[in-house]
């Protein structure tokens, strides 16, 4: 199949902007809980819709008092937190444009984004961020104001606007139309200089309304419960921003968590108890591996592994039934599944807060087997696909017919087309209007409303999309063999001891790989063998670890031909990190940067 369209479930927005939802919700349901906000004591406190509206209004008045006007761009450099959402909606109330900046950005990256977008003011989280901007401020003559969240920026601005009439804000808000620019989001930049994606209010409203309308079981609450989600994705990333907007527009209770590391995230999932989350595969991998290690420590690895097999088989049988290719789980399988419900599956759900029954996953590929396991354990994960240029999701698996291992069908109102060379093209109301100050780059990806994604994919007979690689990442060996690295890397990473994998081999005689290990998993593995912890330099030379890693590589090689297989690998002492410029903030590999940083190790693979 070359093209597939899903008709819209909602009419495209004709009037207004994103901030209208805040005021409409507060008027209709003033006491409805809009947010859960974590206090210094670790307790979550409810923020009703009316209070959030009042805070947005007060902050918007302060921004006017400080000179922010319709169309101005204001940078926000912070982790995911309540105040970011507050600033977003206050700025949108004025027709201003927040420009998100990743908190880990270097001074030069910050300079480029603020200069390119002609930012006039900045919001930062703490003093370190203020110093980063301060180091380049002499080259940013347009920046007139800087506010620091941890130094009381919200209270300071609210006080400054106390004498401003509320109607001034409402006049700004009523001037916003769907085609007004809402934000400029810079691509995370796996290659080259980041480009500013211009996203309109209509792009976000279309995107979130179509998702909420089609995935109603996710975004709507069950009787007696309010739907809720914990946002831990970076708000500087389009995926996190989409979650924020969807929650506010649909009346979902939203909590913020600034750290995606499992050690800090899992306790907040347990205490906030979301009914669903939108996440990246990393989160589900961490939950699964933590459960597996706990079972092994308790001497229950065998039963746990059997429970995994049963969950996968059970979900696969339900999948076959949904597509008319099977009768569903057999009586014996249902009995086995019920047996493991309390001992294994309920504990997995408890680690996610206990209320969760749905999740959406994006940002990178999710292993089919992992998706089946979570579904069998009672949490259906809808994998999707999208880009900054498509305001987040362009495809996702539909609620009633999930096809695990694919990124689903087009979001309602969206068309997916596969070009002659296999490139995925997208068309829909969520497709951005272009790159800021970059007409040539815009013309290279936008043609009559069609977005050329740069990703390679295939549509099956049911209109489900599978991403097979990225055009720019295809490796060509010196023997002329073309290899898409993503599939191999994903399968290598499925091994519980492996954290990351990058496949190399461009213009080389064969394919090889650099691998990093999951330190927590390796410590557990050593303890289960009765061995003492090893320093990173000792680990990379450990024969037993090398044997384990080879098992992961061999499993990946079963997916491809011999010419495409990984012939050799090297274990690295330290993981690829965002801090060292080797990962994007959404945890994607910066391939060129990694190959430069580890040039000696790559050369040794072919020595």
Other Cβ atoms less than 10 A from the Cβ of 162: the count is: 10
Which of 583 and 402 is assigned the larger pLDDT?
402
- Tell me the pLDDT tens digit for each residue of 475-531: 988 888 888 898 899 899 989 999 999 999 999 999 999 999 999 999 999 999 999
d(CA 337, CA 349): 15
Q: Is the pTM of this model over 0.85?
A: yes
- Tell me the pLDDT tens digit for each residue of 437-469: 999 999 999 999 999 999 999 999 999 999 998
Domains and CATH numbers, the chain: 18-176+222-274 (3.40.50.12780), 279-470 (3.40.50.12780), 474-605 (3.30.300.30)
- Report DSSP state, residue 196: E
Q: Which residues contact 89 (CB under 8 A, 6 or more apart)?
A: 18, 19, 22, 56, 248
Assess whether pLDDT exceeds 60 at residue 283. yes
d(CA 55, CA 532): 54
- Tell me the pLDDT tens digit for each residue of 337-396: 999 999 999 999 999 999 999 999 998 889 899 999 999 999 999 999 999 999 999 999
Pairing of strands 450-459, 475-476: unpaired
- CA angle 558/365/342 to nearest 5° reads 90
As given in the structure block, the two tokens for residue 591 are: 């391939």
Other Cβ atoms less than 10 A from the Cβ of 465: the count is: 27
Q: What is the pLDDT of residue 192?
A: 60
Q: Name the residue among 586, 476, 561 with its Cα closest to residue 187.
A: 586
Contact 6, 395 (CB under 8 A): no
Which of 586 and 19 is assigned the larger pLDDT?
19
- Tell me the pLDDT tens digit for each residue of 65-117: 999 999 999 999 999 999 999 999 999 999 999 999 999 888 999 999 999 99
Q: Mean pLDDT in the chain?
A: 94
Give φ, ψ of 190 to 5 degrees. Answer: -70, -25
Mean pLDDT of 295-324: 96
Least confident of 36-45, 310-319, 423-432, 587-596: 587-596
Q: Which residues contact 284 (CB under 8 A, 6 or more apart)?
A: 359, 361, 366, 370, 374, 381
Q: What is the pLDDT of residue 364?
A: 82
Mean pLDDT of 199-208: 97
Mean pLDDT of 254-274: 91
Pairing of strands 482-483, 475-476: antiparallel
Mean pLDDT of 289-299: 92
Q: Tell me what percent of the residues of the chain surpass a pLDDT of 90.
A: 83
Q: What is the pLDDT of residue 188?
A: 67
207 CB-side CA count, 13 A = 31
């Amino acid at each position: 199949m070359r093209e597939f369209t899903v008709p819209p479930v909602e009419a495209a927005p004709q009037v207004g902007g994103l901030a209208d939802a805040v005021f409409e919700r507060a008027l209709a349901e003033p006491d409805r809980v809009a947010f859960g906000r974590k206090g210094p004591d670790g307790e979550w406190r409810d923020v009703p819709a009316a209070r959030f509206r009042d805070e947005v209004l007060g902050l918007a008045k302060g921004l006017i008092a400080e000179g922010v006007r319709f169309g101005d761009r204001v940078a926000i450099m912070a982790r995911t937190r309540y105040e970011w959402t507050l600033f977003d909606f206050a700025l949108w109330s004025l027709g201003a444009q927040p420009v998100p900046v990743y908190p880990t950005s270097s001074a030069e990256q910050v300079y480029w984004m603020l200069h390119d977008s002609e930012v006039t003011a900045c919001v930062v989280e703490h003093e370190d961020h203020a110093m980063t901007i301060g180091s380049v401020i002499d080259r940013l003559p347009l920046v007139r104001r800087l506010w620091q969240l941890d130094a009381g920026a919200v209270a300071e601005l609210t006080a400054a606007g106390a004498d401003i009439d509320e109607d001034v804000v409402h006049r700004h808000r009523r001037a916003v139309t769907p085609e007004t620019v809402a934000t400029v989001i810079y691509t995370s930049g796996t290659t080259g200089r980041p480009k500013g994606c211009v996203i309109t209010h209509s792009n976000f409203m279309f995107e979130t309304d179509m998702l909420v309308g089609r995935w109603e079981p996710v975004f709507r609450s069950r009787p007696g419960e309010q739907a809720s989600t914990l946002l831990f994705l970076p708000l500087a990333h389009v995926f996190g921003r989409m979650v924020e907007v969807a929650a506010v527009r649909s009346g979902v209770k939203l909590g913020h968590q600034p750290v995606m590391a499992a050690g800090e995230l899992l306790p907040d999932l347990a205490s906030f108890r979301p009914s669903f989350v939108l996440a990246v595969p990393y989160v589900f991998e961490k939950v699964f591996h933590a459960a597996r290690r706990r079972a092994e420590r308790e001497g229950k690895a065998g039963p746990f592994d059997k429970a995994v097999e049963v969950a996968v088989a059970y979900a696969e049988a339900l999948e076959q039934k949904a597509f008319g290719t099977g009768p569903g789980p057999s009586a014996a399988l249902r009995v086995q599944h019920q047996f493991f419900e309390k001992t294994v599956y309920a504990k997995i759900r408890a680690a996610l807060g206990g209320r969760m029954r749905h999740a959406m996953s994006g940002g990178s590929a999710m292993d089919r087997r992992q998706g089946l396991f979570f579904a069998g354990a009672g949490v259906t994960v809808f994998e999707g696909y999208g880009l900054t240029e498509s305001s987040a999701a362009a495809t996702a698996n539909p609620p009633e017919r999930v096809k695990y291992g694919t990124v689903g069908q087009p979001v309602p109102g969206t068309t997916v087309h596969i070009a002659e060379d296999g490139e995925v093209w997208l068309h829909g109301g969520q497709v951005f209007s272009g790159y800021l100050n970059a007409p040539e780059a815009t013309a290279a990806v936008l043609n009559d409303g069609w977005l050329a994604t740069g990703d390679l994919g295939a549509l099956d007979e049911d209109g489900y999309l599978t991403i097979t690689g990225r055009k720019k990442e295809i490796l060509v060996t010196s023997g002329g063999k073309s290899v898409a690295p993503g599939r191999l890397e994903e399968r290598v990473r499925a091994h519980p001891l492996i954290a990351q994998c990058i496949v190399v081999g461009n213009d080389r005689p064969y394919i090889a790989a650099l691998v990093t290990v999951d330190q927590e998993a390796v410590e557990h593995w050593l303890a289960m063998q009765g061995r003492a912890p090893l320093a990173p330099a000792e680990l990379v030379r450990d024969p037993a670890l090398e044997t384990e890693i080879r098992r992961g590589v061999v499993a990946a090689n079963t997916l491809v031909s011999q010419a495409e297989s990984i012939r050799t690998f090297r274990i690295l002492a330290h993981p690829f990190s965002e801090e060292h410029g080797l990962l994007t903030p959404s945890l994607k590999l910066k391939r060129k940067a990694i190959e430069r940083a580890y040039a000696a190790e790559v050369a040794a693979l072919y020595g």
